[in-house]
């Protein structure tokens, strides 16, 4: 297992640095995880994603025992609950990115579908995005909340907190959360402009052609 673990740790370091350097997460905010069989890799608690080394990454066994690295993020249970209902997905990215977090601070009429269908890529990579209730960071109820929507949503917004996205691997989850951030930015820019949205038939065509990103492990690139 170790020969497979080390490249994944390096991938997490590279992803964290990229997200940090592009301003998608700051300070010690955000966390990444990868499920490897019944083991887990997760970024450590109170860590800056831009300053990680492979030896920092928390490596846990299936019972939660720390095998190597620093103590894991206090939000690991949220990641585990998310993937427990998404067997085809193996990674989760959670950020406090500006526009995704801003969108999570607004009220929305349908908490099961809060991001408007502005572009085909939002449909292809995200599907419908759910809004979960506000909980303090690390609140165990967050895991309970996400289990209610995880099977049908690969992307969620934690109210007044930020986005959380699952993907078939770390690269796919990172790509999807970047798409969420871009779409949230568009939504905020166009919020009072009555933008033209993709209609039901256009959305159905995308889902038929590229797969339903809510319920499958596939994220179209």
Of 23, 41, 73, which marks where a domain is finished?
73
| 113 and 41 within one domain | no
How many Å apart are CA 69 and CA 44, to the nearest integer? 8
**Rounded mean pLDDT, 36-57:** 97
Position 178 pLDDT exceeds 70: yes
pTM equals: 0.93
DSSP string, 45-96: TT--TTS--GGGSEEE-TT--EEESSPBPTTHHHHHHHHHT-TT--EEEE--
Report CA-CA distances (Å) from 131 to 68, 142, 154: 34, 12, 12
Position 1 pLDDT exceeds 70: no
| 136 and 199 within one domain | yes
| 179 and 163 within one domain | yes
Of 73, 107, 130, which marks where a domain is finished?
73
How many Å apart are CA 46 and CA 181, to the nearest integer? 23
Q: In what order do the strands lie in the sheet with 39-42?
A: 66-68, 58-60, 39-42, 31-36, 91-94, 162-167, 155-158, 129-132
Of 73, 97, 125, which marks where a domain is finished?
73
| 164 and 126 within one domain | yes
| 177 and 89 within one domain | yes
Residue 65: which CATH number?
3.40.225.10
Answer whether 48's CB lies under 8 Å from 20's CB: yes
**Rounded mean pLDDT, 29-50:** 97
| 116 and 18 within one domain | no
Report CA-CA distances (Å) from 120 to 50, 117, 181: 31, 7, 15
214 confidence band (pLDDT: 50, 70, 90): confident
| 142 and 204 within one domain | yes
Position 187 pLDDT exceeds 80: yes
| 137 and 28 within one domain | no
43's tokens: 């970024």
**Rounded mean pLDDT, 102-126:** 96
Domain count for the chain: 2
Identify the domain containing residue 8 by its residue range: 1-73
Q: What is the pLDDT of residues 54-97, one digit of tens each?
A: 999 999 999 999 999 999 999 999 999 999 999 999 999 999 99
Q: What is the pLDDT of residues 149-177, one digit of tens each?
A: 999 999 999 999 999 999 999 999 999 99
Answer whether 61's CB lies under 8 Å from 2's CB: no
| 213 and 140 within one domain | yes
| 158 and 116 within one domain | yes
What are the residue numbers of the active site?
75, 121
Answer whether 166's CB lies under 8 Å from 86's CB: yes
How many Å apart are CA 6 and CA 64, to the nearest integer? 19
| 215 and 129 within one domain | yes
Answer whether 55's CB lies under 8 Å from 69's CB: yes
Give Rg (Cα) of the chain: 17
| 155 and 127 within one domain | yes
């Amino acid at each position: 297992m170790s020969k497979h673990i080390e490249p994944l740790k390096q991938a997490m370091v590279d992803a964290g640095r990229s997200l940090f350097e592009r301003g998608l997460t700051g300070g010690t905010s955000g966390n990444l995880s990868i499920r490897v069989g019944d083991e887990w890799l997760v970024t450590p608690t109170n860590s800056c994603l831009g300053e990680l080394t492979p030896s920092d990454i928390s490596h846990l066994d299936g019972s939660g025992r720390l095998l190597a690295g620093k103590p894991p993020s206090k939000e690991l249970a949220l990641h585990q609950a998310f993937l427990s209902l998404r067997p085809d997905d193996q990674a989760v990215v959670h950020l406090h990115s500006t526009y995704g977090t801003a969108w999570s601070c607004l009220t929305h009429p349908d908490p099961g579908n809060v991001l408007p269908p502005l572009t085909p890529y939002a449909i292809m990579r995200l599907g419908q995005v759910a809004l979960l209730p506000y909980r303090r960071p690390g609140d165990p109820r967050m895991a309970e909340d996400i289990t209610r929507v995880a099977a049908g949503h690969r992307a969620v917004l934690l109210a007044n907190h930020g986005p959380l996205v699952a993907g078939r691997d770390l690269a796919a989850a990172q790509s999807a959360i970047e798409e969420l951030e871009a779409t949230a930015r568009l939504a905020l820019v166009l919020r009072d402009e009555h933008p033209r949205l993709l209609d039901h038939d256009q959305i159905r065509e995308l889902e038929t052609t590229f797969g339903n990103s809510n319920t499958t492990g596939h994220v179209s690139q």
